[in-house]
């Protein structure tokens, strides 16, 4: 694109959904900081929205990892009662409030675009102003595990349903765009398609990837680590592994881009 990555005035960062694999986003952010690169604007969906919010909030990489380690996924008193979904997403509000006490997009250090899915109208919705926590909860409310989140009378769910890689929200606000995609759709062995849950997960993953891969390929720099395939979406034991994979992939990609810039 002819942009000097190290000297780019406005760097956009796009973070996909993908559950625990999204810890790779944090590894990428660590690599960026080591190269004195800071994003000017961020867009994220699902776990990408959560990582993006923590980054925009000025949290360190270790703080970000602790957020995900401390957040219970299947705590018995979080089970939904008289709500669709197994887990009541809004039970996480107070935990999020401890990280985002001012509960507003305006209190963040960087502009952030959070994508969620409007279940009633069947369209995507991008939040970037006003209340922060409910849009974050909605964006990460992966169905059918987590219940939808009600905002202004509308039910919202996982942003990845409609837009898992929301690059378009930073296109006009950045000179150089870095993308991190952790929703990998690589080759699968037959042993990993033995039940309905595995089948549903595979089909959903393929659909999500098919609708987003063109946007992914238009980023100026992208990481899409295939090693993440070994980590389950809800496997909290994989947090550190995914983080390391993202850091290694990010460092290599940035180093390669900087070398190419020197040759121009």
Structure confidence by residue, pLDDT tens digits, 62-121: 999 999 998 876 554 555 556 665 577 888 898 899 999 999 999 999 999 999 999 999
Q: For residue 198, what pLDDT band results from cuts at 50, 70 and 90? A: low
Prior bond of 144 cis (ω within 30°): yes
Q: What is the pLDDT of residues 3-61, one digit of tens each?
A: 456 566 799 999 999 889 999 999 999 999 999 999 999 999 999 999 999 999 999 99
Query: Using an 8 Å Cβ cutoff, are 164 and 16 in contact?
Result: yes
Q: How far is CA 201 from CA 26, 129, 151, 212, 250, in A?
A: 24, 32, 27, 17, 26
Structural tokens at position 180: 């991190």
What are the structural domains, with CATH classification, of the chain? 11-256 (3.40.1090.10)
Q: How far is CA 118 from CA 51, 105, 126, 148, 159, in A?
A: 21, 20, 10, 9, 9
Distance, CA of 101 to chain centre: 21
Query: Using an 8 Å Cβ cutoff, are 181 and 16 in contact?
Result: yes
**Percent with pLDDT over 70 in the chain:** 85
pLDDT at 247: 98
- What is the Cα–Cα distance from 81 to 147, expressed in whole angstroms? 10
Is residue 46 among the annotated active site residues?
yes
Query: Using an 8 Å Cβ cutoff, are 20 and 235 in contact?
Result: yes
pLDDT at 145: 80
Is residue 220 among the annotated active site residues?
no
- Side-chain half-sphere CA neighbours of 189 within 13 A: 4
Phi and psi dihedrals of 12, rounded to 5? Answer: -100, 140
pLDDT at 112: 98
Rg (CA), the chain: 18
- What is the Cα–Cα distance from 132 to 135, expressed in whole angstroms? 6
pLDDT greater at residue 193 or residue 165: 165
Residue 1 has pLDDT above 50, yes or no: no
Choice among 46, 139, 180, 251 that is catalytic = 46
- What is the Cα–Cα distance from 147 to 126, expressed in whole angstroms? 19
Choice among 45, 147, 158, 183 that is catalytic = 158
């Amino acid at each position: 694109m002819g942009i000097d990555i190290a000297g780019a005035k406005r760097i956009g960062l796009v973070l996909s959904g993908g559950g625990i694999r999204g810890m790779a986003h944090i590894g990428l952010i660590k690599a960026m900081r080591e190269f004195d690169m800071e994003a000017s604007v961020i867009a994220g969906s699902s776990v990408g929205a959560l990582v993006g919010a923590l980054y925009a909030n000025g949290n360190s990489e270790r703080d970000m990892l602790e957020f995900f380690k401390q957040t219970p996924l299947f705590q018995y008193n979080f089970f939904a009662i008289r709500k669709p979904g197994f887990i009541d997403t809004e039970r996480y509000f107070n935990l999020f409030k401890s990280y985002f006490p001012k509960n507003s997009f305006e209190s963040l250090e960087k502009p952030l675009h959070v994508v969620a899915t409007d279940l009633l109208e069947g369209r995507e919705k991008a939040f970037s102003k006003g209340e922060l926590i409910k849009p974050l909860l909605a964006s990460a409310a992966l169905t059918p595990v987590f219940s939808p989140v009600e905002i202004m009378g509308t039910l919202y769910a996982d942003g990845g349903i409609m837009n898992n890689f929301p690059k378009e929200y930073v296109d006009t606000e950045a000179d150089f765009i870095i993308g991190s995609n952790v929703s990998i759709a690589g080759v699968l062995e037959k042993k990993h398609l033995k039940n309905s849950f595995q089948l549903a997960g595979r089909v959903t993953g393929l659909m999500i990837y098919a609708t987003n891969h063109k946007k992914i390929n238009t980023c100026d720099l992208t990481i899409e680590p295939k090693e993440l395939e070994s980590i389950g979406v809800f496997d909290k034991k994989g947090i550190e592994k995914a983080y390391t994979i993202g850091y290694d992939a990010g460092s290599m990609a940035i180093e390669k881009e900087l070398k190419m810039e020197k040759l121009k």
